[in-house]
Amino acid sequence: MSALTWVILVAAVLGAIAVYLSWTAGRLDRQHARLDASRAVLDAQLLRRSGAALDLATSGILDPAASMLVADAASRARTEGEQSPEQVQSDLSAVLAAALDDPVYLSELAEDPATAATLDELAGACRRVAHARRFHNVTVNTVRRLRAKRIVRLLRLSGHAELPEPIEFDDTVPTGLPS
């Protein structure tokens, strides 16, 4: 083989490696953008659920004690004070499940159109939170798998971005809500 053939061969291999690295870096960047978007959607859905819970608490549907508990949990879920975000969201889910644990009572309440609309809004918000959290966690797992590749770690293609963690909290829809 001549020297020109070797130069062309080496240039082709280096070009292929450069294209692969560029493609991988672009893919990683798109996945991080998708991760940011899924987190924003999850945050919006969490706010929507806590707003729907506050609407329920102030609607007069629940007894006064349950209304106070739901309003307190929903307010803490909106502010996320000193507790972890996952804990306050799980607390809101638990309070909603406890307050809406009587399907017979809720089915009687659902005969009123205003009450039915409030319960439907809360049920939809709870379902959207569960879907948004699952979608976010799938995106987190995709980013983590991509960043676990040896070439990505070796060449630091992810830059200084923190490794994302999945978000885990109780997001079950209370059984008394309409489906």
Q: Kindly report the CATH number assigned to the domain that includes residue 59.
A: 1.20.1440
How many Cα neighbours within 13 Å face the side chain of 32? 14
**Residue 171 falls inside a structural domain:** no
Q: Please give the Cα distance from 67 to 159 (Å, whole number).
A: 47
- Closest C-alpha among 14, 179, 12 to residue 100: 179
Name the one residue in this structure whose structure tokens are 């040896």: 150
CB 95 within 8 A of CB 70: yes
pLDDT of residue 125: 96
- pLDDT of 81 > 70? The answer is no
**Residue 5 falls inside a structural domain:** no
pLDDT of residue 116: 85
Tokens of 152: 């990505």
- pLDDT of 61 > 90? The answer is no
CB 120 within 8 A of CB 179: no
- pLDDT of 108 > 80? The answer is no
CB 96 within 8 A of CB 53: yes
89: which residues sit within 8 A by CB, 6+ positions away? 46, 77, 129, 169, 170, 171
Amino acid at 40: A
- pLDDT of 132 > 70? The answer is yes
**Residue 114 falls inside a structural domain:** yes
Lowest-confidence range among 70-79, 123-132, 140-149, 169-178? 169-178
State mean pLDDT over 166-178.
87
The count of domains in the chain is 1
**Residue 176 falls inside a structural domain:** no
**Residue 167 falls inside a structural domain:** no
- Give 104's pLDDT tier (boundaries 50, 70, 90): low
**Residue 178 falls inside a structural domain:** no
Helix 85-99 and helix 3-58: axis angle, to 10°? 40
> H helices within the chain, ranges in order?
3-58, 64-79, 85-99, 103-109, 113-147, 150-154
Q: Please give the Cα distance from 169 to 165 (Å, whole number).
A: 13
- Which has the higher per-residue pLDDT, 103 or 91? 91
pLDDT of residue 82: 64
CB 114 within 8 A of CB 60: no
- Closest C-alpha among 49, 33, 31 to residue 133: 49
Structural domain harbouring 91: 10-154
State mean pLDDT over 149-157.
90
